[in-house]
């Protein structure tokens, strides 16, 4: 099993460009999350999903959109990238409401020039 995978691993964008980050999981987990990690700020939740076809806003959702058309995939989109979105993005999954452990992907390092 691959667990949680993220595509791409690295990306450089120019201001105003768009892109989509893909998170894929093969663990049949219901819940999926997108975080961004910035130095000295820990990880902050961008958006999350509690099941196929559902999404909700987290702590820092502005400038991002998400979709969960299939249970195994959670996409994070940047419609018009800004330098403030330079960050490392992590996807995480969680199997059930009772089991509260989240499993993290390896991350995507995004630089916006």
Partner 1 sequence: AQSVTQLDSQVPVFEEAPVELRCNYSSSVSVYLFWYVQYPNQGLQLLLKYLSGSTLVESINGFEAEFNKSQTSFHLRKPSVHISDTAEYFCAVIPFGGTSYGKLTFGQGTILTVHP
User: Using CB under 8 A, which of 75, 87, 105, 112 touches partner 1?
Assistant: 105
Would you count residue 21 as binding partner 1 (CB under 8 A)? Answer: no
Binding mask 41-70 for partner 1 (x = CB under 8 A): xxxxx--x-x-----x-x------------
Which residue bears the tokens 């997108």?
34
Which residues bind to partner 1, rule: CB under 8 A? 4, 31, 33, 40-45, 48, 50, 56, 58, 90, 92, 94, 97, 100-107
């Amino acid at each position: 099993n691959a667990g949680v995978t993220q595509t791409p691993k690295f990306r450089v964008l120019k201001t105003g460009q768009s892109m989509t980050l893909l998170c894929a999981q093969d663990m049949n987990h219901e819940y999926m999350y997108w975080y961004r990690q910035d130095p000295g700020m820990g990880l902050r939740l961008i958006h999350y999903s509690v099941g196929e076809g559902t999404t909700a806003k987290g702590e820092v959702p502005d400038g991002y959109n998400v979709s969960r058309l299939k249970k195994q995939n959670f996409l994070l989109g940047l419609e018009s990238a800004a330098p403030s979105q330079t960050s490392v993005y992590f996807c995480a999954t969680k199997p059930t409401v009772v089991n509260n452990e989240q499993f993290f992907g390896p991350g995507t390092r995004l630089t916006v020039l």
